[in-house]
Amino acid sequence: MSFVSTLRQWDEAVACVEQRDTDSALRIFLNIEEKSSKITYNIGCLYLNSNELDEAEKAFDGSIGKDGHLAVAFFQRGVAFYKKEKFEESLLDFQQAFKELRGNQLIDYKPLGLRYKLYACEVLQNMGLAHAQMGKWERAQENLLTALSLRADAKFSNIDNALEAILKQKIFPLVEIQAGLLFKPNKRYVAELEKKDYLGKAKVVASVVPADQFSGFAPLQPQVEDVPLAPKVPEVLKAFEGEPHTVLYEFVPETKEELAVLPGNIVFVLHKGADHWASVIFNEKRGLVPCNFLEPLDIVSMTSQTMQIQPLTENNDIPAPPRRAPPSRPVEVLKAVKAEAKNSEEFSDCIVKVHFQFNIAISIAPGQAYEVILQKISAKLKMPASTLTLQYAEEDSNKRVIIEDSVMEAVWNSVKGGRLTLWCSVTEGKSMSHEKVVALYSYEASTPEDLDFEQGDVITVLSKVNDEWIEGQCNGKIGIFPSSFVKALNEDPQ
């Protein structure tokens, strides 16, 4: 069978899937004589979506046999094994899919014709689910903690829910690829299948204006008197409800009623309350923002200035500089202004930035006890407070010290400009008893999820990512590092 015939059948089958005629699509795919790894993958997906698991497994076997590095095929075969309750085989396929990611956070298959991104954190989530089904709850927890450190976007909140379920030894949902997502043939090749008339039909266009003597293959020439010297400036229409304001400082919400905004955002204020909180609209979302974070904006004058006609220069390719002056660097301390119900007396909370596997920020009144801070961070991370250890940097030596009740006065004395920086790590309990390794060489982190250390540092192993990478904890930080850079603590170097 020629490449053109294969391409034509492939495109026809994909069109049937888009029209939800999966039976015809499957029949066309199966009639293709020379099936590539992408086509056999598509066949496996159609069988998997119709719950014909044995046929799906065979199709994914064929896809992997033709391309042994197709991570998404290993992922889909792992899903098929999981649905057949073959959890060990499912785990092996998810592990192989993670290995084929080669240390990357994701693989985008769009250039290959599949509009899907395979994320490492979702593969790890399914690995944790397979471990959970086998009763290996500690391994499942390790997988999900690694997934938490590798998640590329806040949209993966299902990992937090899965980790919470594992702590209760409960099963959580499987991550699956949306039905209907298949490898599609190259659009440029498909376009070449259609016959094209490059000459087209000739059209003679003549002007009916007496003053225009032109006749030929060109559009009519405009015959307009009193041509305006400059284009008309459109009127500014007030299309938004509320008064426009510019955001001065970043605001991190603590409750569901508050709204996250960044410096430079333009929000529309619906109402300003007596408690110094403003109800605003931003990106079609409504929430509360402190009033002193906002500055009124004259959107009408700003728009009219922006739409003034700029004079032409010799080099018209270079745009004129913006009319609006750049914002100055904020010097005021980030404040969360609240009002007491009795006397409306204002006070300022301290913004606490916490370094964990990802960074978080909380707002808390200065002088609070250690347990209050710990419980608030525990609720934010959705992890038990008994497993967390907090550290702060001494003001003089910048050395990190573990926080206890006895040092809370020094902790609050280290607040500068209304800000406090803490470091949070997972406490190694007796039940965890992780392996210790020592660094043979220094390792410098090249990505945010890496763990850097110096030669001779002792590292606590949290989990084994694969044969080449290990997740560990060192100097209050958690990340991944090459296994070849370390040896067991009591082992002689090779």
d(CA 320, CA 65): 58
d(CA 240, CA 269): 10
pLDDT digits over 211-224, tens only?
555 555 555 555 55
d(CA 23, CA 25): 5
Per-residue confidence (pLDDT) for residue 194, from 0 to 100: 65
Please name the residues in contact with 343: beta carbons below 8 A apart, sequence gap of 6 or more: none
pLDDT digits over 402-455, tens only?
888 888 888 888 888 788 888 888 764 433 446 889 999 999 887 777 888 999
Per-residue confidence (pLDDT) for residue 323, from 0 to 100: 46
Most confident of 101-105, 333-337, 342-346: 101-105
Per-residue confidence (pLDDT) for residue 440, from 0 to 100: 92
Percent of the chain exceeding pLDDT 70 equals 77
d(CA 82, CA 57): 11
Per-residue confidence (pLDDT) for residue 476, from 0 to 100: 77
The C-alpha angle 406, 407, 410, rounded to 5 degrees, equals: 140
Indicate if the pLDDT at residue 236 is higher than 70. no
Mean pLDDT of 173-194: 85
Catalogue all structural domains in the chain, each as residue range(s) with its CATH number.
3-167 (1.25.40.10), 235-297+333-347 (2.30.30.40), 349-425 (3.10.20.90), 436-488 (2.30.30.40)
Return mean pLDDT, the chain. 79
pLDDT digits over 355-376, tens only?
877 678 888 888 888 888 888 8
Mean pLDDT of 227-242: 50
pTM more than 0.75 = no
